[in-house]
Amino acid sequence: MLWDRKKTARDRAPAEKTENVYLSAREEWLERYGSYIKRSAQWRMTAWCAIGIALLSLSANIMQLTQAKVVPYIIAINEIGQWSAVARADHVTTSPQRAIQADIAACISDWRTVTADNELQKKMIRRLSHYFVGAAKGVLAEWYNHNNPYEIAKQGRLVQVNVQSLPLAVSQDSWRVEWTETVRNHAGILLSQSRFAAMVRVQLDPPTTEEQMLNNPSGLHIIEISTTRIMD
């Protein structure tokens, strides 16, 4: 019985030694190649992510190319209704201040001009209806009640308006503009000449419909206006 116990102990020792050898070999293999395997898995994951991003970018580019693009253009119209300049809206460098100044000057000219051309006169009055709102619209209506341009033209008086300089900003939404009105008869003989000034208050309302874009592309509205005569 004692011999069997000793024999069992002796027989167990080589087995334990053999088992430790395998464990050591496994640990050595993991130390040598485990890091390579881990890095390889990480690189595969990175590669798949890169491929996924590239596919998404390609799909987005294809969708963008297949979609129709609308490029807005700005067309400048001269006094006789003919276009004089065309430019892409995203390439226009005119500042908002210059656009406001140009619109105010054009409104003053359309408002106070009296011409023998009835169609042109109607066009100017119709154009003003898209710019004058609120209290300014009432001032405009009152003016035409007492100064009918068609009757003035029949009486032989034509009024030419010359805005002398660009409107001057007084505050963020207020502008001062000066102009000269030259009155002549149908033969072109000078009858009188007067200077005027106006304080104009404006607001900007970006157009939201096609009609607004065509009639008032800048979205400028004159909400208040008061005029005075400049005495020489």
Q: What is the dihedral angle through the alpha carbons of 181, 166, 77, 120, rounded to the nearest 10 degrees?
A: -20
Looking at the chain, the whole-number percentage of residues with pLDDT higher than 90 is: 48
> What range does the domain containing 109 cover?
95-230
The strand ranges marked E within the chain are: 73-77, 83-88, 158-163, 168-169, 174-184, 190-204, 220-230
Q: Of the residues 67, 84, 103, which one is the last residue of a structural domain?
A: 67
Question: Per the domain annotation, does 83 fall within a domain?
Answer: no
- Structure tokens, 27: 């640990």
On whether both 29 and 107 belong to a single domain, the answer is: no
Domain count, the chain: 2
Domain at 143, CATH number: 3.10.450.230
CA distances from 123 to 115, 127, 162 (A): 11, 6, 19
Average pLDDT over residues 92-97: 59
Looking at the chain, the whole-number percentage of residues with pLDDT higher than 70 is: 69
pLDDT of residue 145: 95
Higher pLDDT, 53 or 144: 144
Per-residue model confidence as pLDDT tens digits over 181-199:
999 999 999 999 999 999 9
On whether both 115 and 160 belong to a single domain, the answer is: yes
Has this prediction a pTM greater than 0.85?
no
On whether both 213 and 149 belong to a single domain, the answer is: yes
Question: Per the domain annotation, does 196 fall within a domain?
Answer: yes
On whether both 41 and 130 belong to a single domain, the answer is: no
On whether both 63 and 158 belong to a single domain, the answer is: no
pLDDT of residue 5: 47
Of 82-86, 111-115, 143-147, 154-158, the poorest mean pLDDT is in: 82-86
- Structure confidence at residue 208 as a pLDDT band (50, 70, 90): confident
Average pLDDT over residues 41-52: 79
On whether both 124 and 21 belong to a single domain, the answer is: no
Question: Per the domain annotation, does 130 fall within a domain?
Answer: yes
On whether both 50 and 156 belong to a single domain, the answer is: no
Q: Of the residues 67, 86, 116, which one is the last residue of a structural domain?
A: 67
Judging by beta carbons within 10 Å of its beta carbon (0-12, 13-18, 19+), is residue 140 exposed, middle or buried? buried
Question: Per the domain annotation, does 72 fall within a domain?
Answer: no
